[in-house]
A and B are shown apart, each in its own frame.
Chain A
């Protein structure tokens, strides 16, 4: 892979649901090692875009390229094998399984042991089983969850569940990590801790991170570049300061956030 090949390339991606255009001809590129933010009002198409990248939804038009490979039509599990992991806006842990099990399962693609040798408990399988467990424990430790490893994940606190989702995604040993509103439900202190933590993650695991976030200041302080979606369209792309001062963005999103008059319907302003 040459240096000029973008790490992730979203190329003219469009997604229609019946009459609604959820994502409208969106294009951008990620460089390796970037911390990239995706912001926009609710319903702007951000999560849909995540779903397209991770293979949960197929785009109506356009392609997704990851490290030079066209992954547009790949099934989610194959995309995971290639090194893209994600968290979900509405937590999707395996709720009746323990925290440890949640993380161990995510080691699936990095373990090879077959069913037969596993069930028979052959030495190779047993060793790999041990390694899986150790690795999972390491990650839980890193996320501060190791003292709750046997708890059913549905019994964990909201904040812990969010962290467990990140732990699970990390267990996949991804190269690209997609975080969908990781700071939802956190107070300002927690958001700051999370922000530092995400930066630390990037360093420690050599990750490229794409974040959807609602809380604009978090994204502004954390990301190298930011893209703004509104009604499925990409209306701004650049470094945080640029974007923050882009009039179109202010009108569509930032202005809205500060406006107290929430009864006014958001209307689309055509340029």
Chain B
């Protein structure tokens, strides 16, 4: 298969994998502070709606959506989406992040559901049908990498560095023992809200980009299912290092495609190929259960790196 053929067949998948990795990172940020927030899909949906509404109803030229959509306007939408989500996150965060553990998870679930029902019923979001014919800035799916890839690299670099500086350590301390962190001079609410807000802004930016990428946007983007999927990215990929969510996001997005390809192999019994085709969520769910029980830190753990380093050091001595 030539490079062009490969890119046109798998271009959308690759972009999807990159976007999923960024979404996983958006969940990882609050998780660094020990917060299980299932709110990312809500902000993702919000960002998408902002971009969709702006590009189809506001940023019009002669009453029509601008097509091809200028990249600088897309970046503007992403920025705006990030800011609006950030503000909303601060508000929600200050209210809800006093809660811990289960209570916080429940509050974020409630928040996402409220947003979802609102989006189903408001006119501006197009109700149940949503918004469609969102203009595209690019002609090929793979070209979205021009924006998605730098965003992934920037966020990954940010999180990587974060773990090595004062603010990141504060988050880890809060995760390990919030009370002790408080006693040692770290303001837990400030840092939790900050992590939550950054995650929200990131998810929202991905949403804005995805709205153009997917061409339509509706309430099905911000569902409980999505929460599960993102959660699976981080839990399976690894919840203790920034590489975990990236790997998890990419793997679990590619997996259904891979299974679908396997399903296409002749000679498989009907029920099996149907399972492979449609069983993505079943697999996600099973993975979540198995990983929680047997690999609580996910597949990619910090220990992996320690062991490799130790082995390398042994070799040298």
In the complex, is A directly touching B at CB under 8 Å? yes
A contact residues, total (Cβ < 8 Å): 35
The 6 closest A-B pairs by CB, nearest first: A118-B165, A80-B185, A94-B176, A109-B185, A76-B182, A119-B161
**A56 to chain B: which residues have CB within 8 Å?**
179, 182-183
Interface centre among B170, B179, B184, B188 (most CB of A within 10 A): B184
A259 → B minimal CB distance (Å): 36
Q: Are B165 and A105 in contact (CB under 8 A)?
A: no
Q: Are B184 and A168 in contact (CB under 8 A)?
A: yes
Q: A92-B177, A101-B169, A105-B181 are in contact. List 13 more A-B contacts (CB 8 A).
A: A77-B185, A77-B187, A80-B182, A81-B185, A85-B184, A88-B180, A92-B179, A94-B180, A97-B172, A97-B176, A108-B169, A119-B165, A132-B166
**B186 to chain A: which residues have CB within 8 Å?**
77, 105, 108
B244 → A minimal CB distance (Å): 15
A177 → B minimal CB distance (Å): 12
**B170 to chain A: which residues have CB within 8 Å?**
105, 108
Q: Closest residue of chain B to A88, judged by CB?
A: B180
The A/B interface has a contact count, at CB < 8 Å, of: 88
| Contact pattern, A 35-78, Cβ under 8 Å of B = 1, otherwise 0 | 00000000000000000001010000000000000000001110
Known: A80-B184, A94-B173, A97-B172. A113 touches B165 (CB 8 A): yes
Q: Closest residue of chain B to A113, judged by CB?
A: B166
A interface with B by C-beta (< 8 Å): 54, 56, 75-77, 80-81, 85-86, 88, 92-97, 101, 104-106, 108-109, 111, 113-115, 118-121, 125, 129, 132, 168, 172
A39 → B minimal CB distance (Å): 23
Known: A115-B162, A119-B165. A108 touches B184 (CB 8 A): yes
**A92 to chain B: which residues have CB within 8 Å?**
177, 179-180
**A85 to chain B: which residues have CB within 8 Å?**
183-184
